[in-house]
Amino acid sequence: MATAKMRVYRGDSSGGGEVEYDVPVEEGMVVLDAIHFIQANYDGDLAVRWNCKAAKCGSCSAEINGMPKLTCKTRMDSLPLDKPVTVYPIKAFPIIKDLVTDVSWNYKVRKTIPPFKPAKDTKWIMYQEDVERSQEFRKCIECCLCQNVCHILRNHDKKDAFAGPRMLIKIAELEMHPLDTDDRQAFLRTDAGLGYCNITKCCTEVCPEHIHITDNAIIPLKERVADTYFDPLQWLLKKFSGSSKQ
């Protein structure tokens, strides 16, 4: 059986460094399996988050050979095993321990987004073609990988001013819900800091759910906000004609 050298970051807020482990590689094995092997055989206290091990819960994000990925979805045979495999915690959020980071900021921001507000007296009839746009965004597993790579959060740490791509698709999802009646335009411009995004598309590239974050959510949101900003009357008309969201 082949052996992989795993270099896993171990440490906490006070510092740390790589620790190297030899891990036997089985067919089809993923990086999370290697981490579990390390826990069971070398260091029982190696900290990692995971739940589903099937790319469905978005718990196990890390930076593998420098690339932000789900550890449960990254096959060992997709990595060059002649070199050591490095596994680091995602960088945009403060480390707690080893591969576990403090992502509580995301939960705080999420709570500030104005919730779904359905039309009164609706009969709840919606057609497949009308729900599909929001359905795409509702595939999000909240893995924070997009938040992690967005340079506004990662390099400039503008967490006080910019909500990040995950939150923008959450807002887009609500805005494009066929029966939602709320208006999140002001929120988008001010609280969410939509203007900070300069459409680099890094977020879209890393999304394990293949959500078209920039093309389908951020750009349409920007267009909408721009429309409103330049032509509020036009927007008001659309909003009250009853089909604003179709």
Partner 1 sequence: MEIETHTHDVIVIGAGGAGLRAAIEASARGASVGLVCKSLLGKAHTVMAEGGVAAALANVDTKDDWKTHFHDTMHGGKLLNNWRMAQLHAQEAPDRVKELEHWGALFDRTKDGKIMQRAFGGHTWKRLAHVGDRTGLEMIRTLQDKGIHSGIDVYMECTITHLLKDGERISGAFGYWRESGRFVLFKTKAIVLATGGVGKSYKVTSNSWEYTGDGQALAYEAGAELIDMEFVQFHPTGMVWPPSVRGILVTEAVRGEGGILTNRNGERFMEKYDPERMELSTRDVVARSIYTEVMEGRGSPHGGAFLNIAHRGADYVKKKLPSMYHQFMEFALIDITKEPMEVFPTTHYIMGGVRVDADTTGTTVPGLFAAGEVAGGMHGANRLGGNSLSDLLVFGMRAGMGAAQYANEIKDNALKIDDKDLELGTEEMLRPFESEEGENPYTIHQALQETMGKFVGVFRIKEKLQEGLDELQVLKERASDLKIEGSRMYNPGWHLCKDLKSMLIVSEAIARCALQREESRGAHSRVDFPKYNDEVWGKVNSVISVDGSGEMRLGTSPLPQMPEELRKIVEGGYK
Could you tell me the two tokens for 233?
């009357």
Is 163 among the residues that bind ligand SF4 (CB under 6 A)? no
Q: Residues 43 to 62: which contact ligand FES by CB under 6 A?
A: 50-53, 55-60
Could you tell me the two tokens for 91?
């960088």
Show the site string, 149-178: x = touches ligand FES by CB under 6 A, - = not: ------------------------------
Burial of 246 (0-12, 13-18, 19+ CB in 10 A): exposed
Show the site string, 66-85: x = touches ligand FES by CB under 6 A, - = not: ----x-x-------------
Query: Binding residues for ligand SF4, how many (CB under 6 A)?
Result: 28
Gap between the Cα atoms of 111 and 108, Å rounded: 5
Gap between the Cα atoms of 184 and 191, Å rounded: 10
In whole angstroms, how close is the CB of 53 to ligand SF4 at the nearest point?
Answer: 16
Contacts of 67 (CB under 8 A, 6+ apart): none
> What does R_g of the chain's alpha carbons equal in angstroms?
21
In whole angstroms, how close is the CB of 130 to ligand FES at the nearest point?
Answer: 29
Furthest C-alpha separation in the chain: 69
Q: Which stretch binds ligand SF4 (CB under 6 A): 16-24, 125-133, 179-187, 194-202?
A: 194-202
SS3 assignment, position 228: helix
Contacts of 199 (CB under 8 A, 6+ apart): 214, 218, 219
Q: Which residues bind ligand SF4 (CB under 6 A)?
A: 58, 140-146, 150, 152, 165-166, 169, 197-203, 206-209, 211, 213-214, 218
Q: Which residues bind partner 1 (CB under 8 A)?
A: 12, 26-30, 33, 39-41, 43-59, 73, 75, 96-98, 100, 103, 107, 110-111, 115-116, 118, 124-128, 131, 134-135, 138-139, 141-142, 174, 177, 180
Q: Which residues bind ligand FES (CB under 6 A)?
A: 50-53, 55-60, 70, 72
